[in-house]
Amino acid sequence: MIEADIAVVGGGIAALTAAAEAARRGRRVQVFTGALPGGLLLSIEAVQGLPEHPDGIAGYDLCPMAQEAAMDAGAACIADEAGAVQRDGGRWLVRGADAALSAVNAINAVSARALILAPGSRLRALGVPGEERLAGKGVSHCASCDAPLLRGKTVAVVGGGDAACQEALTLAAHAARVHLLLRGEALRARPAWQQRVQAQPRIDLQPRTEVAEVLGDAAVGGLRLRDGRTLAVDAVFIYIGLQPATEWLAGAPATVALDSDGRIADDAAQGLFAAGTARRGNDGQAATAIDEAVAAARAADEFLA
């Protein structure tokens, strides 16, 4: 076990920004990043809402840069997920999830006076037959990864928010036809996304359309819809919201309070701070995650002082 001033949990933009800011304030910082840092931004090309670099900056470049900045500032990264958190004599004890990785890293736990939790979120699944079986065989959550392989094909995007619109537009640059399937009556995305979707002739908006099953043997061949229709598609991309990655904290309700959606609330009196999409009240934007991360590092620093 090693001691730190601040333990940080997460490998996305929120955790890495918080770690960099806390280390720049002279704090000893240990970050459980998980085995593959980067988070949701890893699969996003153009990140809307962040200040634009003259040459543009891809989401998948942003987290490696943030990790480098955190390490340059003196934060130490542990390539394991945090598996448990507990209070231990006025300190926070964070244990690694994977015994084999703990052995490789030669660290199985971090004891720290303050804790910043930023484990982010996973994309919600539809929960219909065929979805899990055909994952990676046409069922995807990464348009920018798969779009170039779908030139001239027909695909479906499920969802009506910003992420669904953004990814439908990415796919429309390659695919022949993109069916954008909405459960409700209208898109929920911000007006700028709605206008771009409506102006793209290859996107076909289908309101009041729910997927009942993903069809196909070796690969996706179509979708069975709840109204009984079948839609022939070569791939389906699912963006129906985020699920906070906080199940591993549910066993410690006395130490870390989660709301009914599984999001984390700060407990400043105990030196517990949250940032990013797993924090209560976060709006899902990367700029907000960065803002919350800097605020969390500052609050943890003040708590220690």
Ligand X SMILES: Cc1cc2nc3c(=O)[nH]c(=O)nc-3n(C[C@H](O)[C@H](O)[C@H](O)COP(=O)(O)OP(=O)(O)OC[C@H]3O[C@@H](n4cnc5c(N)ncnc54)[C@H](O)[C@@H]3O)c2cc1C
Least separation in angstroms between CB 230 and ligand X? 26
Closest CB to ligand X among 34 and 130? 34
What's CA 123's distance to the chain center, in Å?
Answer: 7
Q: How far is the CB of 206 from ligand X (least distance, A)?
A: 19
Shortest Cβ 189–ligand X spacing (Å):
11
Q: How far is the CB of 44 from ligand X (least distance, A)?
A: 5
> How many Cα atoms sit within 13 Å of 88 on the Cβ side?
16
Closer Cβ to ligand X, 109 or 215, answer by number: 109
> Could you identify the residue written with the tokens 């507990």?
86
Question: Which residues bind to ligand X, rule: CB under 6 A?
Answer: 9-15, 32-34, 37-41, 44, 47-49, 81-82, 118-121, 123, 163, 166-167, 239, 245, 248, 276-277, 284-287, 289
Are the C-beta atoms of 14 and 276 separated by less than 8 Å? Answer: yes
- Cα-to-chain-centroid distance, residue 300: 23
Cα 260 to the center of its chain, rounded Å: 19
Question: Which C-beta is closer to ligand X: that of 11 or that of 160?
Answer: 11
Residue 215 or 249 having the CB closest to ligand X: 249
| Cβ 1 to ligand X shortest distance, Å | 17
Burial 38-58 (b: 16+ CB within 10 A, else e): bbbbbbbbebeebeeeeeebe
Name the region of 7 (left: φ>0; alpha: ψ -120 to 50; beta: rest). beta
Structure tokens given for 227: 């109204």
